[in-house]
Structure 1
Amino acid sequence: MSVFHNIKEWSNITIIIIGKILFFTILLLFIEFSFSKVVRFIGSKIVNFTNFVWDDVLYEHKVFDSFSHFFSWSIGYILIKPCFKNYYVIIFYLEKIFDILFVLISLQFLIRIINSIIRIATSENSHHTLAIRSFSQLLKIISIIFCILVIIAILTKNDLVSVLTSLGAITAIVILVFRDIILGFVSGVQMASTKMIKVGDWIGIKKYNIEGTVLEIDLSSAKIENFDKTITSIPTYDLVSTAVTNFEVMRQKNIRRIKRSILFNIQSFHFCNSEKLKKLKHIYLIKNYINKKQQEENVEYNMNLNGKRLTNIGLFRKYALEYLHKHPNISQTETLMVRHLEPTPYGLPVELYCFAKTSESINYEEIQANVFDHLLTAAKEFNLEVSQVFAKKELKW
């Protein structure tokens, strides 16, 4: 009879406890719902009333919702003892659960604040964005690790110092695991302080044979959009430790270098006689140059090699230089020259070194193509032959 009585008593206690827990849960959800509605309403009014950008960002990232969680769960924590009076075990475990929830809510609030700061910072396309992004991601990682340690301390009934002391033995392992993150953070701060690279820059990295626009620089990796629309991800610290070419200054000046050569057959080089010079005088760009040279010394009667006889390759080089000086799409304020490179077994390269007045790829290629179309065709007027080197194919029988 006593056993039956005990079972009935435990059943009643269990039903009462379950009822209290259901009532407490419903009450907590009602408080949470009410506070979230009130806080969102107040937050929307503040956002609509002010002209600031930061409050809009905070509202979008639900920072105000985290405030409502603090209020509602604080009221729930206060109601634990009145609702579960004399049930000390349940009170103990519920307080533990609420302590952990407060830690998680604090973590959520901090992460939302960090995301809002990143959003505000990235709207300003500056080098400081990189440092803020790297620092914020590092702060997120540290916050998560700290919250995990606090939860462990709550569950094990130890203080935080004791937990940190017990984890000191695995510090080397932690450093090894987060090696890339630490290097990425240091690299991000270095790039921001020296203004080397920022999001949106046009860069090239020979090590990886990539060239494109920087889309994102995070704590551990950087994303680069190549010109073929593919995405390449590289470690962030490679942007500091590897040779990186930054074309952003060129794009800001709206110029782009042309550095290409034409290979001429040396067998086609010769001195120009009076008849040839008379014919070339009809070319406006070198007419004055030929007259000046003829005044310095009478080329007609100076037929020996010791004289200052003009050559077809020399006249062409002068013509190409004057052509670039007169070209409307070639910058006259930057380096501009036409020079001979070292002779090769295939001929003599004549290189054009100048800058087009654009950094946009399509316009640049159009200008470069027009320049070489003209000069390759004009070379025929000087009786110059452009070398055409063909690879010999080995015949296999």
Structure 2
Amino acid sequence: MTWDAINDLDPWMQTAAGLAALVVVAYVLRAVVRFGLLKTASRLRAAPQATAWLRTLLDDRVLTQAAQVVPSLVIQTGIGAVAHLPLMVSTVVRNVAIAVTVLQVARLLMAVLDGVQQRNEDRLHTDQNTRSIKSYVQLGKLLITLVAGIVMVAVLIDRSPLILLSGLGAMSAVLMLVFKDTILSFTAGVQLAGNDMLRVGDWLQMDQVGADGAVVDMALNTVKIRNWDNTITTIPTWRLMSDSFKNWRGMSESGGRRIKRSLRIDTESIRFLSETEIGELGRIQLLAPYLHSKVEEITAYNRDFSTQAPDMADEVVNLRQLTNIGTYRAYVNQYLRAHPRLRKDMTLMARMMEATAEGTPLEVYAFTDTTAWQEYEAIQGDIFDHLMAILPEFGLRAFQYPSGSDVKIALRLNEVRALDS
């Protein structure tokens, strides 16, 4: 069709043809721009000097979204060239195209933020020092959405955005109420990140909300915890600043996990050791050096005491003697120092605790050379298996409440004694 033929058409036909041509040109240019951007970006990404940030910005999804801006730009610049189009219609179409352009630019910026967040999440799996930026990305998206919404509404009603912003000032109280949790959570997120208090992958314990597990996601408003039983606990971010929580990262980074468990000794089984028992215990390799030095020390003390107060040397209470629980404690200390899976550069000891109605606790305080839960439990179990099994060698008994079987045995013994008498 020639230009003369087009000019001979009715005005509305010319307008329709102009609009159709404008739409075709807009979407053809979008395809051309998209093809050019993707072709150029693939070469730049493959270049040896391309950085990780450059690859993020040149991601196919970002460039595809960038190409979406072209049609609205073409329409808003070319709508004035359409013949016989009423001024009001032209203005409305131009304003709508500008609003669409703002929308597409906002989506482009969000795509860039998504790419940055994805890169950050990839680094989280390989670098434990990397901090999650999801809350910042979500806040950025929220701000972009608010700004884009204000500009789009202002363009559609053909008013300055400043007029809308002045109206929003009167609604600040309402906005503060609506976004109260978001503002509190963002402030808490900044403090958590700035002070390095919590990261994705940390083991968090917060008894107030029933959370005890690994941090799997840190968003603007919530933090997700995968508990040890694979349930998910969602905590508002602001609660992490208003309430206390325990972060086990320090334990993981130290390379040692603490053992702090007590073995309760039956107080009635505690007594002095005889010379025969000392000789038998001297055959234990870990205990022999201790017994040798201790016996020499006690013998020298008792000899001096007998010289100074011969009339009191016959009383056992005046002389020093080895106890079975003290000797057992020395054995436990030596056993812990010789254990190959315990850290020698951290606190390592067995200590006596205050006696209670449930016996005399002997507490083991040590750190394993691993923080893996299964290995830690296996090491701890092996240690206490051995310590409980060797108690009879020292004449000691573990404390436990009498069970139903113990009561029945006691009653039968009383019946037998009654019959014998």
Confirm or deny: 8 A CA contact 2:38 2:60 kept in the other structure: no
**Residue of structure 2 equivalent to 1:324:** 336
Letter in 2 for 1:117: V
TM-score by length of 1: 0.88
The aligned amino acid for 2:131 is: T
The answer for the alignment partner of 2:398 in structure 1 is: 386
Q: Secondary structure at the match of 1:129?
A: coil
Size of the aligned set, in residue pairs, is 381
Q: Mapping of 1:275-286 within 5 angstroms?
A: 275-286=276-287
Quick one: distance in 1 between partners of 2:214 and 2:41?
38
- Stretch deviating more after TM superposition (244-253 or 328-337): 244-253
Sort the Cα spacing of 1:303 and 1:356 in 2 relative to 1 into closer, same or farther, 3 A: farther
Amino acid at match of 1:73: S
Give the secondary-structure state (helix, strand or coil) at the position aligned to 2:401: coil
**Residues 128 and 161 of structure 1, relative CA distance in 2, 3 Å threshold:** farther
Distance (Å, rounded) in 2 between the aligned partners of 1:302 and 1:158: 109
Give 1:223's aligned residue: 224
Match of 1:97 in 2: 96
Does the CA-based 8 Å contact 1:32-1:73 persist in structure 2? no
Aligned to 2:23: 25
Equivalent in 322, 325, 330 of residue 310 of structure 1: 322
- Counterparts in 2 of 1:306 and 1:389: CA distance versus 1, 3 Å: same
Aligned-residue sequence identity (percent) comes to 27
Secondary structure of 1:223 counterpart? strand
Kept in 1, the 8 Å contact 2:328–2:394? The answer is yes
Q: Residues 340 and 349 of structure 1 are in contact (CA less than 8 Å); yes or no, is this contact kept in structure 2? A: yes
The answer on whether the counterparts of 2:15 and 2:82 sit within 8 Å (CA) in structure 1 is: no
CA gap of 1:208–1:246, structure 2 versus 1, over 3 A, is same
How far residue 178 of structure 1 moved from its aligned partner, in angstroms, is 1.4
What is the SS of the residue equivalent to 1:79? helix
Give, in whole Å, the separation in 1 of the partners of 2:290 and 2:47. 74
Question: Which stretch of structure 1 is more off in the superposition, 63-72 or 308-317?
Answer: 63-72
What is the root-mean-square deviation of aligned Cα atoms in Å? 2.5
- Say if 1:115 and 1:22 are closer, same or farther in 2 by CA, change over 3 A: same
Give 1:361 deviation, angstroms: 0.8
Cα distance, 1:318 vs structure 2 = 1.0
Q: Once the two structures are superposed, what CA deviation does each residue of 1:266-317 show, in whole Å capped at 9, x if it has no partner?
A: 1111111111111111112222222222222337987612321111111111
Distance 1:104 1:346 in 2: 71
Contiguous gaps of at least 5 residues in structure 2: 1-9, 304-312, 405-421
CA distance in 2, matches of 1:371, 1:293: 25
Q: CA deviation at 1:150?
A: 1.2
What residue number does 2:72 align with? Answer: 73
The 1:84–1:141 alpha-carbon spacing in structure 2 relative to 1, beyond 3 Å, is: farther
* Residue identity in the other structure for 2:24: I
Cα contact 1:312–1:382 (8 A) shared by 2: yes
1 CA distance for matches of 2:342 and 2:381? Answer: 13
TM-score (ref. length: structure 2): 0.83
The 3-state SS of whatever aligns with 1:351 is: strand
State how far apart, in whole Å, the 2-side matches of 1:110 and 1:126 are: 28
CA contact under 8 A between 1:204 and 1:212: conserved in structure 2? yes
Out of 4, 26, 41, the position equivalent to 2:39 is 41
- Structure 1 distance, partners of 2:147, 2:293, is 82
1:1-397 correspondence runs (5 A): 17-18=15-16, 20-50=18-48, 51-60=50-59, 62-124=61-123, 125=127, 129-130=131-132, 132-298=133-299, 304-389=316-401
Q: Which amino acid aligns with 1:347?
A: G
Paired residue type of 1:291? H
Q: Distance in 1 between matches of 2:84 and 2:66?
A: 28
- Deviation of residue 355 (structure 1)? 0.6
Task: Indicate the SS of the match to 1:145.
Answer: helix
Question: Structure 1 residue 24: deviation in Å?
Answer: 3.4
State how far apart, in whole Å, the 2-side matches of 1:302 and 1:26 are: 117
Q: Distance in 1 between matches of 2:273 and 2:403?
A: 33
Separation (CA, whole Å) in 1 of partners of 2:239 and 2:354 = 35
Q: Once the two structures are superposed, what CA deviation does each residue of 1:50-84 show, in whole Å capped at 9, x if it has no partner? A: 54222332333622224323344322322211124
After the TM superposition, which of the residue ranges 107-116 and 54-63 deviates more from structure 2?
54-63
Question: Equivalents in 1 of 2:59, 2:278: separation in Å?
Answer: 77
Provide closer, same or farther for how the CA distance between residues 268 and 295 of structure 1 changes in structure 2, counting only shifts above 3 A.
same
Per-residue CA deviation, residues 179-236 of structure 1 (Å, 9 max, x unaligned), is 2221222122212221221122222222223222222211111112222222222111
| Cα shift at 1:153 | 1.3
| Structure 1: distance between partners of 2:142 and 2:403 | 58
Q: 2-side partners of 1:302 and 1:219: how far apart?
A: 78
Q: Would the alpha carbon gap of residues 86 and 326 (structure 1) be closer, same or farther in structure 2, given more than 3 Å must change?
A: closer
- Structure 1 residue matching 2:322: 3-state secondary structure: coil
In 2, the alpha carbon distance for the partners of 1:84 and 1:165 equals 39
Q: Does the 8 Å CA contact 2:215/2:225 hold for their aligned counterparts?
A: yes
* SS of the residue 2:58 aligns to: helix
Q: Distance in 2 between matches of 1:380 and 1:209?
A: 42
**What are the ranges of 5 or more consecutive residues in structure 1 without an aligned counterpart?**
1-11, 393-397
* Local SS of the residue matching 1:297: helix
Aligned in 2, Cα 1:163/1:76: closer, same or farther, shift over 3 Å?
A: same
In the alignment, the residues of structure 2 paired with residue 331 and residue 126 of structure 1 have an alpha-carbon distance, to the nearest angstrom, of: 23
SS at match of 1:43: helix
Letter in 1 for 2:283: H
